[in-house]
């Protein structure tokens, strides 16, 4: 399995913020505020040569002026400045880098060249780079809320990577509404360096991650996502919502995150072969995540359907068969046991139609 250890990205000992600002409408202020107010468990070093303090925290004129090694650097300065800043990070021995800044491959050829340059530099220094064009990361273990929006996710067993920051952050908000928590989240942005398969393989080995979610808009021709997913899906559920499925959506994805369109038919077949569960919409993704979080993973594909109304049994049976599940015939032993619980006019088959029995005791006995 392609594995890159991202512990110092998601659980850094400290953080430096290059482009930290005292102006409330700038991302260098907003992201820093989110990190501080949610109680990150290590030192935070704002970097801005024009300021002494920001939000009551000592500000440093440069990365090199920080008095200790730095695990994670977050950059919010304009795109043309990023290349030189990566050289600074390399000299400092920085482990991981989150580039919030946009204006790279999602904008066209010139932006693509800049992105290729910063990625080559980061890899040369051995730095893991998130983005560029990312909305940030979250980690429950270290109380790391390095995000552009002020969302505070519940803590739980879901981990997610998303090629759209807005879609991913919406999942965090919906998780709060539905009472399900996240362990880690990353807005992967343009995926210049770290790609979906890197996050997927890392989440697979992360003991605190129980279910893996993803929002994808496209894949590079050399993507190893399929090969990685075939191994990961044997360990944990992998749920994916794919955007850019149509010609129009694919064009929008290219200008949004620089994603390369892939045939939906081909991708859907690959997902199924790998064991990935593909959802048709964002609401389905969060609903399915809740189901896997709250229930044990089934050991097989045989389904017994118990319903108080026949129509819902028919609908569920259709859905099961359409998705490759088997609705088996009930054994004589089970039917005899049901006869002792249900009225004579129950369905005597699978689905088990309880024939409008509304009390809870027969329902629990049938289960």
Give pLDDT, residue 8: 97
Q: Mark whether 183 and 47 lie in a shared domain.
A: no
Q: Is 0.75 topped by the overall pTM? A: yes
Q: Mark whether 185 and 69 lie in a shared domain.
A: no
Is residue 272 included in any domain, yes or no?
A: yes
Long-range interactions of 246-254: CB distance < 8 A, separation 24+: 250/218, 253/163, 253/217, 253/218, 254/106, 254/218
Residue 162: closest CA among 181, 192, 186: 186
Give pLDDT, residue 23: 97
Which among 254, 275, 297 is the end of a domain? 297
Question: Which residue range is the domain that position 329 belongs to?
Answer: 306-366
Is residue 116 included in any domain, yes or no?
A: yes
Q: Mark whether 99 and 182 lie in a shared domain.
A: no
| Secondary structure E strands in the chain | 15-18, 44-47, 53-54, 57-58, 72-75, 96-99, 128-130, 136-139, 144-147, 155-162, 182-187, 211-216, 238-242, 277-279, 306-307, 352-353
Which among 266, 297, 328 is the end of a domain? 297
CATH number at residue 80: 3.40.50.720
Is residue 188 included in any domain, yes or no?
A: yes
Give pLDDT, residue 169: 96
Do the beta carbons of residue 229 and residue 272 sit within 8 Å?
Answer: no
Q: Mark whether 164 and 291 lie in a shared domain.
A: yes
Per-residue tens of pLDDT for the chain, all 367 residues = 568 999 999 999 999 999 999 999 999 999 999 999 999 999 999 999 999 999 999 999 999 999 999 999 999 999 999 999 999 999 999 999 999 999 999 999 999 999 999 999 999 999 999 999 999 999 999 999 999 999 999 999 999 999 999 999 999 999 999 999 999 999 999 999 999 999 999 999 999 999 999 999 988 888 999 999 999 999 999 999 998 767 676 566 555 555 555 667 778 888 989 999 999 999 999 999 999 998 888 888 999 999 988 899 999 999 999 988 999 999 999 999 999 999 999 999 999 998 878 788 988 998 8
The total number of structural domains in the chain stands at 3
CATH number at residue 244: 3.40.50.261
Is residue 139 included in any domain, yes or no?
A: no
Q: Mark whether 14 and 123 lie in a shared domain.
A: yes
């Amino acid at each position: 399995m392609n594995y890159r250890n991202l512990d110092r990205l998601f659980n850094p000992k400290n953080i430096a913020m290059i482009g930290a600002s005292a102006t409330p409408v700038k991302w260098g202020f907003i992201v820093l505020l989110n990190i501080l107010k949610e109680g990150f468990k290590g030192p935070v070093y704002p970097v801005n040569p024009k300021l002494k303090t920001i939000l009551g925290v000592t500000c440093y004129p440069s990365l090199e002026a920080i008095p200790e090694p730095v695990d994670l650097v977050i950059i919010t300065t304009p795109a043309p400045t990023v290349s030189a800043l990566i050289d600074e990070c390399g000299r400092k021995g920085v482990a991981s880098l989150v580039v919030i800044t946009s204006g790279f491959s999602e904008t066209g050829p010139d932006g693509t060249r800049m992105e290729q340059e910063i990625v080559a530099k980061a890899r040369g220094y051995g730095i893991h780079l998130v983005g560029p064009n990312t909305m940030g990361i979250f980690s429950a273990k270290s109380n790391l809320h390095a995000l552009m929006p002020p969302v505070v996710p519940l803590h739980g067993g879901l981990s997610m990577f998303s090629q759209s920051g807005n879609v991913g952050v919406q999942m965090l908000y919906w998780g709060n509404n539905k009472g399900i928590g996240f362990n880690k989240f990353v807005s992967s942005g343009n995926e210049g360096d770290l790609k979906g398969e890197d996050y997927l393989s890392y989440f697979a080995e992360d003991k605190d991650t129980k279910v893996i979610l993803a929002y994808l808009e496209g894949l590079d021709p050399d993507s190893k996502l399929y090969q990685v997913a075939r191994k990961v899906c044997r360990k944990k559920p992998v749920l994916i919502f794919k955007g850019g499925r149509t010609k129009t959506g694919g064009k929008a994805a290219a200008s949004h995150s620089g994603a390369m369109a892939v045939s939906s038919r081909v991708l859907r077949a690959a997902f199924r072969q790998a064991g990935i569960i593909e959802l048709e919409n964002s609401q389905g993704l969060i609903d399915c995540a809740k189901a896997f979080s709250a229930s044990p993973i089934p050991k097989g594909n045989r389904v017994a359907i118990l319903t108080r109304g026949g129509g819902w049994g028919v609908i569920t049976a259709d859905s099961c068969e359409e998705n490759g599940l088997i609705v088996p015939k009930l054994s004589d032993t089970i039917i005899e046991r049901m006869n002792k619980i249900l009225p004579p006019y129950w369905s005597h088959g699978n689905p088990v139609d309880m024939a409008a029995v509304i009390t809870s005791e027969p329902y629990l006995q049938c289960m």
